[in-house]
Amino acid sequence: MAGGDRGAGLALFRTGLAAAALCALITGQAIAGPMVRVDGGALTGSAADGVVAFKAIPYAAPPTGDLRWRPPAGPAAWSGARDATAYGPDCPQNRPSWDPTQSKLPTSEDCLTLNVWTPNASDETHRPVMVWIHGGGFTMGSGSQPIFDGTALAQRGLVVVTFNYRLGRFGFFAHPALTREAAGGPVGNYALMDQIAALRWVRRNIAAFGGDPGNVTIFGESAGGGSVELLLLAKDARGLFQKAISQSGGGRDDWPALGADRPGKPSAEHIGEAFAKAAGASGDDAAALRAIPMAKVLGKLDLLHGEADTYSGPMMDGRLITTNPADGFLAGRQARVPLLIGANSNELGFIPAIFLGAINAEAIRRLGPDLARVVEAYGAKSEFDARIASDQNFVEPARTLAGAMAAAGTPTFLYSFGYVPSAKRATQKGAPHASELAFVFGNLSELRLATTPEDAREARLVGDYWTRFARTGDPNGAGRPTWPAYHRRDDLRLVFNGGGAGAENSPAAPLDALAAHYAAPTPR
């Protein structure tokens, strides 16, 4: 975006109240708060705690009716000032009762909105921008979850964006009728198309909020971290961000191909045909598919109900996704932008032992003939049992991606988050999946625990590293332990644990054994 465009956007932000007053005179509306103008029209937000928030901003047209299972279309413009003081609906999903971090907002297919937090003071013209991609296994979650409130990060002088994207079968669905209709255009991975559309909206509009469209960091956790990795590989996302943070994003996924079966893995189209038949749309008609009621498309999908016979998840569509992240990075196909990446010290520590056995059994099955060699690398079977599922799914992929990025000459920083809040240390061994989120966003109240000054110091430290990286591409700064750039020759990662953080070597033997398993020439 040209400097004049950025200046115009910032000027409008600085004079937002006056613009809102003018709009009120024209439309007869009451002044609701600070105002900005984006490419769809004017927005009125709310101000509190030194931060201005604008919520439920449409970045794409509602993907309903004939727009279901199509790439996101541009949002319609509106007249007058649109109220942007409250969140919009979440995308359709089944929320598990065991996850208190989930939003309680209503759900609707009309859900492609984003939220922006920006410092109220406008003394800085080009603020760094952090765009959050939420997790939830691609089947649940939203940019409106309380733990992702951007106020605390924006108070550090950044512009923060969160957004919704289509989930479950709404976000990932293939069928021969849709492939023919697309006529060579993107098909199947609609959730990833939504993410790219949101980033394009940010590039066009973030200057109006005081943000710098040339200094955008994407960051995400779990499925959001995996999305960050995919966006690093997607040619359609090139130039839309300048830095990336992947938290517990995995990277060794084995997704189905769009239209080609593989041994033991039917194509995404065949899975889609199975769903259509079960839903009563067994013909080869795209209109009939789009007429399937929302509740049937949703099904019972969540993190515990994968419905693998009728739901593909992400797919190798040959355009947006051509490889899993690890293979793509090792082949040098990723964008060359600074990367901060890592995993937690006990990713699956939240899973009851009765279920962990089944997860470990799957990890063992995937190792096949390499099992004995990998067990030996752990030194003891008990150590293997305790770590294999977390290492296989999160820790080893993060290290491999970091190594590939560093080998390409790109600044890369690897971490292990092992901090356990003071109130949980008697019962919790290590940091489980997603436990870093409250520390990254500075929202410790969402832990629903009695927090201590030590917890608060850890949150400040994590926030310092993350936001410094977003500003400069290097998390280091005065007064913090040095975070060395990652190189395989020394294999150093920053470990967050009780007492702060410090650089340590990765546990090389087991992670090397896992990497060698994936590098073997036989199919895995």
Distance separating alpha carbons of residues 289 and 292, to the nearest angstrom: 6
For the ranges 19-28, 121-130, 138-147, 189-198, which has the lowest average pLDDT? 19-28
**Structure-model confidence comparison of residues 19 and 174, the more confident one:** 174
The whole-number average pLDDT for the span 254-279 is 96
What are the backbone dihedrals phi and psi of residue 99, each rounded to the nearest 5 degrees, phi first? Answer: -115, 95
Distance separating alpha carbons of residues 69 and 173, to the nearest angstrom: 7
Give the model's pLDDT for residue 122.
59
The 8-class DSSP code of residue 90 comes to B
Give the model's pLDDT for residue 228.
98
Per cent of the chain over pLDDT 90 is: 85
For the ranges 14-18, 177-181, 474-478, which has the lowest average pLDDT? 14-18
The whole-number average pLDDT for the span 173-196 is 97
Question: Is 172 within a domain?
Answer: yes
| Collapsed DSSP state (helix, strand, coil) of residue 42 | strand
Question: Is 136 within a domain?
Answer: yes
**pLDDT of 37 above 90:** yes
Q: Which domain holds residue 299?
A: 3-519
Question: Is 475 within a domain?
Answer: yes
For the ranges 28-32, 218-222, 508-512, which has the lowest average pLDDT? 28-32
The pLDDT-based confidence of 11 (bands split at 50, 70, 90) is very low
Question: Is 313 within a domain?
Answer: yes
Two tokens, residue 403? 């190594």
382 burial level (CB within 10 Å; 0-12, 13-18, 19+): exposed
**pLDDT of 237 above 80:** yes
Give the model's pLDDT for residue 284.
86
Residue 184: count other Cβ atoms within 10 Å of its Cβ: 8
| Collapsed DSSP state (helix, strand, coil) of residue 411 | coil
The 8-class DSSP code of residue 76 comes to P
Question: Is 465 within a domain?
Answer: yes
Give the model's pLDDT for residue 521.
60
**CATH number of the domain within which 377 lies:** 3.40.50.1820
Q: How many domains does the chain have?
A: 1
Q: What is the mean pLDDT of the chain?
A: 92
Encode pLDDT of 489-519 as tens digits.
999 999 999 778 999 999 999 999 999 999 9
The whole-number average pLDDT for the span 325-344 is 98
**pLDDT of 223 above 60:** yes
Give the model's pLDDT for residue 304.
86
Encode pLDDT of 273-296 as tens digits.
999 999 999 888 999 999 999 999
Give the model's pLDDT for residue 10.
44
**pLDDT of 230 above 70:** yes
**pLDDT of 2 above 50:** no
Distance separating alpha carbons of residues 137 and 141, to the nearest angstrom: 8
Per cent of the chain over pLDDT 70 is: 92
The 8-class DSSP code of residue 30 comes to P
**pLDDT of 21 above 50:** no
What are the backbone dihedrals phi and psi of residue 261, each rounded to the nearest 5 degrees, phi first? Answer: -70, 150
| Collapsed DSSP state (helix, strand, coil) of residue 360 | helix
Residue 362: count other Cβ atoms within 10 Å of its Cβ: 11
The pLDDT-based confidence of 258 (bands split at 50, 70, 90) is very high
The whole-number average pLDDT for the span 55-77 is 98
Give the model's pLDDT for residue 498.
79
Distance separating alpha carbons of residues 313 and 304, to the nearest angstrom: 14
The pLDDT-based confidence of 4 (bands split at 50, 70, 90) is very low
**pLDDT of 131 above 70:** yes
Distance separating alpha carbons of residues 307 and 188, to the nearest angstrom: 17
Give the model's pLDDT for residue 282.
80
The whole-number average pLDDT for the span 353-366 is 83
Question: Is 524 within a domain?
Answer: no
Question: Is 50 within a domain?
Answer: yes
Encode pLDDT of 85-114 as tens digits.
999 999 999 998 888 899 999 999 999 999
Distance separating alpha carbons of residues 195 and 98, to the nearest angstrom: 27
The whole-number average pLDDT for the span 457-481 is 96
* The CA-based dihedral angle spanning residues 433, 438, 439, 445, taken in that order and rounded to the nearest 10 degrees: -140
Give the model's pLDDT for residue 202.
98
Positions marked active-site: 222, 347, 433
pTM as predicted? 0.94
Helix (H) or strand (E) holding 220: strand 211-221
